[in-house]
Structure 1
Amino acid sequence: MRNVLLPTDFSENAWNATKYAIELFKDEECVFHLLNTYTPAIVSSRFMATNVGHVQESAVRDNSERGLEELVAMIKKHYNYPKHNYKTISSFSLLVDEIKDIVESVGIDIIITGTKGASGLDEVFMGSNTVRIIKSVKNCPVLAIPQYFDYVSPTEIAFATDFNRFYSLSELQPIIDLAKAFKAVIRIVHVQYEIKALTEIQMFNLNMLRKYLNEVEHYVHTVSELNSVSKTLDVFTKELDIHLLAMLNYQHSYMEKMTREAVVKRMAFHTQIPLLVIPELGMNMPAKSSMNRKNAVMD
């Protein structure tokens, strides 16, 4: 039983991510946890009656709960997958804080969220909420779905890495599970500023990576950097018609480099394809396959 967390603000962007998640796991037993958080605006006036704040919070809570009920109804209207169950969570809380609590308490396997460019310049390539989730959640993969991306079965998956870090099986398991489920090809892409031979450490890590991926079809692609990592990966994914891009998120990783790149360089990578960001789990976490989770809670 897979536990999937779907944060929603009832926007078209969030609905698109919800549709993607349902299609992605249509053949799996899943519990989708639909989360909406709300924080009523604080009314500040010394002449305001003391119960106004409570009334306002109650109204916002009612809107949140009603929105979640309508969302479940809309899902059931468009999709009829018997292995799927839905739970709703309406919470007076900050989004990232609530997500972290739910990941721990429920045992979430993956967070799937929509991406939308922020209005400001900072973090424009994915949207500030998505980036905050990726930076804050340290024990659960995050799959970010572009605002206008139509679902395509991910039979071509790119895994971007520089081979400078040892991988644990627990970190690679989400990619392996997807590849097996969709009989996908994994294309390991290594971006180099200038093409040169791998070091001994890089070769060792590459060989370990191939060992972990021995049950799925995979290839290694070394490409020259074009202006920036994000631009290079954008070109690579378009040329090879990649359906999903996966990265590990750790210090000095491609993911970290992309979040630090100048805004002008990141613009080209503005939410082109789904991006799976896997946190740094290390060697102490057991590999968690989607097939052996039994702690889901259903209605």
Structure 2
Amino acid sequence: MKKVLLPTDFSDNAMNSIVFALEFFKYDNCEFYFLHVYEDEVYNTHKLSESKSFDELKLMSSKKSSKNLESLLEKVSTIAPHKRFSYNIISAYNSLLDEANKVVIEKNIDLIVMGTKGEGANHAYAFGSNTLQVLKYVSCPVLVIPEAYEYTQPKKVLFPTNFLIPYKRRELKLLYTMLKPFRSIIDVIYIAKYSNLSRRQVDNKEFLKGEFEDLQINFVNADDKDISGAISNYIEAHNIDLLVMVNTSHSYLEDMLFRSKVDDISLHTNIPFLALQNIRRTS
């Protein structure tokens, strides 16, 4: 059974990602955890309020959070009343980052699914700040759903990799079970000036191939110095439905997420994005 964590702020954007997850996993046995944190809400309200004490505001936010989660639970139970699904709600006075890490460890979560705001007029931002923090610091695969994205079966999947890191079998199994019902085609793209691989890269490539033996997997080489540009161009040219990247040391995604400050990130995508192998960071 897959365990899926769905953070929510009760916005349309968050609801869209929830609906996507319910549709995406309709063939699976899943345990969903809907999480709402309200620490920021309490602090922000306290700045504006002169008539209520901090403890009063905290209690009010707690009741409001629980009530909204109960309403959400009723809604999703109507949308997806599958016997294969079970639902849980978590309300916490905490930051999203700390509570997500806590739940991931305590509940042995397989995947986090969350929405992200659109880029709007400022094209320097690829992800919202909350999504970015989860991508960077929570030790769990994260599936990001663009704002207002309408569910589409992941028939075509792009997996950029440099083959430098050993993949985690648990996460490749997760990806395989996610894609198998749709008979997805996976394009694995290696972006480098030279196509020759080291012994380590060859071994990692063969391991990757073996984990998806029942699915069609194509290996593609691309000579391009601009990794994010090459990925974006491939997505557009080949009608890709899902982008999958590994986030660990010496990976393409690590370079994009950690090489500079938030507003310098250059990866922009209008399709769902799955980050695998997130590892705990200290900076």
TM-score exceeds 0.5: yes
Offset at residue 266 of structure 1 (A): 4.3
Letter in 2 for 1:85: S
1:215 maps to what in 2? Answer: 214
Letter in 1 for 2:154: P
**Which protein, 1 or 2, shows the higher relative CO under an 8 Å CA cutoff with sep ≥ 6?**
1
Offset at residue 70 of structure 1 (A): 1.7
Letter in 2 for 1:238: E
Residue aligned with 2:43, SS: coil
Offset at residue 108 of structure 1 (A): 1.1
Residue aligned with 1:41, SS: helix
Pair 16,44 (structure 1): closer, same or farther in 2 beyond 3 Å: closer
- The count of corresponding residues between Structure 1 and Structure 2 is 274
Question: Which shifted more, 181-190 or 168-177?
Answer: 168-177
Match of 1:41 among 40, 43, 55: 43
What are the ranges of 5 or more consecutive residues in structure 2 without an aligned counterpart?
none
Letter in 2 for 1:233: I
Structure 2 Cα separation of the partners of residues 95 and 119 of structure 1: 24
Letter in 1 for 2:253: M
1:101 maps to what in 2? Answer: 102
1:285 maps to what in 2? Answer: none
Letter in 1 for 2:115: G
What are the ranges of 5 or more consecutive residues in structure 1 without an aligned counterpart?
282-299
Residue aligned with 1:277, SS: strand
Structure 2 Cα separation of the partners of residues 20 and 186 of structure 1: 20
Letter in 1 for 2:86: N
Structure 2 Cα separation of the partners of residues 68 and 104 of structure 1: 22
Offset at residue 121 of structure 1 (A): 7.7
1:129 maps to what in 2? Answer: 130
2:201 maps to what in 1? Answer: 202
Contact 1:229 1:254 in 2 (8 A): yes
Provide TM-score, normalisation by structure 1. Answer: 0.82
1:254 maps to what in 2? Answer: 252
1:237 maps to what in 2? Answer: 235
Contact 1:231 1:265 in 2 (8 A): no
1:293 maps to what in 2? Answer: none
Offset at residue 119 of structure 1 (A): 9.3
Structure 2 Cα separation of the partners of residues 86 and 171 of structure 1: 23
Offset at residue 197 of structure 1 (A): 2.4
Offset at residue 200 of structure 1 (A): 3.3
Residue aligned with 1:273, SS: coil
